[in-house]
Structure 1
């Protein structure tokens, strides 16, 4: 007898949409919303509609190209790892050994 329930085989896999993986989908969506707001601001400011369209389409194509490039280059977690690596110091400087001696005494 076959089961009427379907098993979800995609558990714990990151989402992917047309080659974009994980957080890059959010980055692309946020960028497109920002471009929509930019278009509204330019249009309300009285800029020619064709100029607005050229600027927005140029920026949108650059955004899409850059987002796909980041997705392909860094993958699912690579960009987060790169950002985290920048926050680490290049070296640590200690003027005294008191910290380490204190840690050793507490471990005993």
Structure 2
């Protein structure tokens, strides 16, 4: 018999992270790996490299989980869209309201 998928129409979730936050965390971890590589090849001592990467990684995890819990699946995109809405629209003439098409 086939197992029934009971997660139909539900958002992707992994360890409490929802939807796009999984991608944000993955991209952040890849960037931290690249940063570690650059620091190591630049000749910086390994203890300094590790402390920078571990501190940045901890901050990344904290911030991504905080955003995931605060805004949920679509909340961050809604907030970004709301910022682009102007507070008011200023017209210097009323001509566009009087034109008939």
Runs of 4+ in 1 over 6 A off after TM superposition: none
TM score, norm. by length of structure 1: 0.86
What are the superposed Cα offsets for residues 41-72 of structure 1, whole Å, 9 maximum, x if unpaired?
Answer: 00000000111001100000000000000001
- Structure with bigger gyration radius: 1
Instruction: Say what the alpha-carbon RMSD is for the aligned residues.
Output: 1.4
Q: How do 1:6-45 and structure 2 match up within 5 A? A: 6-45=3-42
Query: How many residues in Structure 1 have an aligned counterpart in Structure 2?
Result: 101
In structure 1, runs of 5+ residues without a counterpart are: none
Indicate the structure whose relative CO is greater, using CA pairs within 8 Å and at least 6 residues apart: 2
TM score, norm. by length of structure 2: 0.91
For 2:97 and 2:7, locate their aligned partners in 1 and report how far apart those are by CA, in whole Å: 47
In structure 2, runs of 5+ residues without a counterpart are: none
